[in-house]
Chains A and B, each alone.
Chain A
Amino acid sequence: MTRRINKDVLKRMQQLDFAIWETALYLDGHPENTQALNYYKKLIAMREDAKKDYEANVGPATHRDVKCDRWTWVDEPWPWQNEV
């Protein structure tokens, strides 16, 4: 099955996830930095808020996020399948 994905919602999650990733990478080398840790936690909270919107408009990010009564994990598009 093919799903129409909302590119703005996708981009928002990519931005959030990149910020989370970048902060985690920094924290690996600076685990005592409370300012960075608080920023990380703030981003995680923002991600939690954005997750429902993401799943409704893009689809499950991992197969653990499938909530339908149908296995939507294998719905297209896969990330490399852009419209041409």
Chain B
Amino acid sequence: MWIYEKKLQFPVNIKTPNPALAKLIITQLGGPDGEMGASTRYLSQRYSMPYSEVVGILTDVGTEELAHQEMVSAIVHQLTRNLTTDQILDGGFAPYFVDHTTGIYPSSATGEPFTAATLQSTGDPIADLSEDLAAEQKARLTYDNILRFCDDRDVADPIRFLREREIVHFQRFGDGMRIVQDALDYKNFYAYNPAFDKK
């Protein structure tokens, strides 16, 4: 089970609203490579993972992604505080605003609601970890793209922190992949699925 800790993993203190930027950053909450998908993916994949060290990695990275949902939500929230209707219109925020006002709704930059259709839990350790490695890189590049539009340090600093965590998670899933491969037949990693086939 989980217990909530009443603090952000990294501080978020944004003073200047920017609804246009908020509309881009929300994708890292509910978009195709966002934090909600990341935690759902890793925490779902744990049950079929036969190697305890890798279950630990999936648990701890999946838990950290929950904390990142909170950070991304805090950024979007602070970027959309005290908006005037002119700011909402000029920032292209009106379509989001009519549906959600300034509430936090997990969706992509183009407005699609969060969907588990962009993630997988295959029940195959090598396939799952390959997906996880790719997911971390996709999230990293999304943060890189967001940083192209961040001229406010208050926003860029926590985004850079989140970007760095993607790189660390990629490394840790690399450890996980090595653990899985070391446990398999080195001549053919795909000879059987250690999560399903009896060996």
A contact set with B: CB distance below 8 Å: 1, 17, 62-63, 73-76, 78, 80
Contacts and interface: CB of A to CB of B under 8 A. Distances in A.
User: What is the interface residue range for chain B against chain A?
Assistant: 10 to 19
B47 A73 contact: no
B52 A78 contact: yes
Contacts of B55: 74, 78
Contacts of A17: 1
Q: Would you call the interface of chain B mostly helix, strand, loop, or mixed?
A: helix
Interface string B45-86: 011000011011001100000000000000000000000000
Interface string B162-198: 0000000000000000000000000000000000000
A63 B61 CA distance: 13
A74 B53 contact: yes
B47 A76 contact: no
B53 A78 contact: no
A1 B55 CA distance: 13
Contacts of B53: 74
A77 B118 CA distance: 30
B196 to A, nearest CB: 16
